[in-house]
Amino acid sequence: MNPASTDADRGVFAAPLAWLRKKPALLAQLRGFARVAVVCTVISMAIFAALRPSVGTQWANTISLVLCSILNTDLNRRMSFGLRTRHMWWRDQQRGIGVMLLALAITTGSLWVLHHVSPGASIGVELVVIVLGNVASAVTRFVLLRYWVFRRVRHGVSTNSSAAAPSDGTPLS
């Protein structure tokens, strides 16, 4: 037995981990995405908790998601997909808002269900529901960011030069 192998190398995750190790760019993107998700979730929950008493649950959720969407998209540009210039920043933000609508639909729907099942739910329970809703939308969010918002990174468009990419966002041939 190889002393460097771990239980994960022999368990149910062995095949997916082996496949992922062969894709270092995807692995780096997933690591960056996870870091951004943690930071943005903490900030979003703080904004939600601060706004909830004055604007209510649904508005606090909406405002916190919209504000954090801008931060999320910008951090993912840098940390997950390696885009360091301002080139196409506005277009990426517009698409990021589109991606955020998925999380908003899931969390708003989850809060609506929660309040119908348990009308007097505490803020702690609401926060758990929102976090679970965001976790549920995270996989779809990553796929949309990777294959739609930042697809130019996968198509070899330079991330260091704004002159390298067409202004309409289409990948280079």
pLDDT band at residue 99 under the 50/70/90 scheme = confident
What interhelical angle do 89-117 and 123-144 show, nearest 10? 140
Q: Which residue has the higher pLDDT, 99 or 114?
A: 114
DSSP codes, 38-71 = HHHHHHHHHHHHHHHHHH-HHHHHHHHHHHHHHH
What is the C-alpha to C-alpha distance for residues 53 and 71, in angstroms, rounded to an integer?
A: 24
pLDDT band at residue 52 under the 50/70/90 scheme = very high
Q: How far is CA 44 from the centre of its chain?
A: 12
pLDDT in tens, 67-87: 998 999 999 988 888 888 888
